[in-house]
Amino acid sequence: MIDKDVYGPWAVVAGGSEGVGAAFAHRLAEAGINLVLIARKPEPLERTAHEARARGVEVRTLQLDLLAETAPAAVREATEDLDIGLLIFNAGANSYGHEFVTGDLDRFQGVLGLNITSQLALTHHFGARMKERGSGGIMLVGSLAGYLGQGQVSVYSAAKAFSRVFSEGLWLELRPFGVHVLELVLGVTRTPAMERAGLRMDLPGLDVAEPDDVAGEGLEHLADGPVWVAGGNGARAEQRNAFHDRAGLVLGAQEASRRLLPAE
């Protein structure tokens, strides 16, 4: 059970409406930690908030597009009177699968805006507050995609690589002040976003994680930063991080990822 004396009494979950984000909300509510849930879609946001309240905690919701210029200020205003002990940044699914040189540059900028700029803004704000209070935690949800370049999602993969290295540096900066930092690296996870994309998760030999399992694993290892690879994917992450024969690794991973795409 997560320690609410360290990570409470309030937690902010960006991308907290469905999938892994909803699983975080449920587990934190069960631990007695009040929630600020941020998401774009009102229906799943309110559903998850209702489920968390049924577990006996207070919940504030912010229906918000984190790409909006006013989003950081809106989050600051909505949480100004709260003692935030945990930030979970889980909002980063806008991978925009397209070849880079023929794709829409504005959409690629949106991938960077959500996965890097918005993440930095919230981490900067809440990290400073946690440093001052001398306790807390920051979890940035990453991806195995950040260990290896991939065609069609080259910008997304690069953004996730940034997040991992940023987490390591931030961990060094905040650990003397009692603030835990963790990048939780996910592999293939059965989320509504993945299902909407039509990815084939029933392939033989494919290890698919469940949202509740990876959320529980992340919270269990929050103090074990700077990086934790979830779902038994540690060996896969090490392989992708190897420096020998990068061309072979990139080509092999690309071929494997094609198996996940919907059949034409």
Q: Please report where in the chains the tokens 């597009």 appear, as a residue.
A: 65
Q: Give the Cα separation of 33 and 2 in Å (integer).
A: 9
Residue 54 in 3-state DSSP?
coil
| Token pair in block for residue 106 | 């504005």
Q: Give the Cα separation of 245 and 178 in Å (integer).
A: 40
Q: Give the Cα separation of 84 and 50 in Å (integer).
A: 20
Q: Which residues pair with 87 in a beta bridge?
A: 12, 138
Q: Give the Cα separation of 61 and 12 in Å (integer).
A: 10
Residue tagged active-site, from 7, 96, 147, 156: 156
147 is a catalytic site residue: no
User: Could you tell me how far CA 8 lies from the centroid of its own chain?
Assistant: 19
Which residues are annotated as catalytic?
A: 156
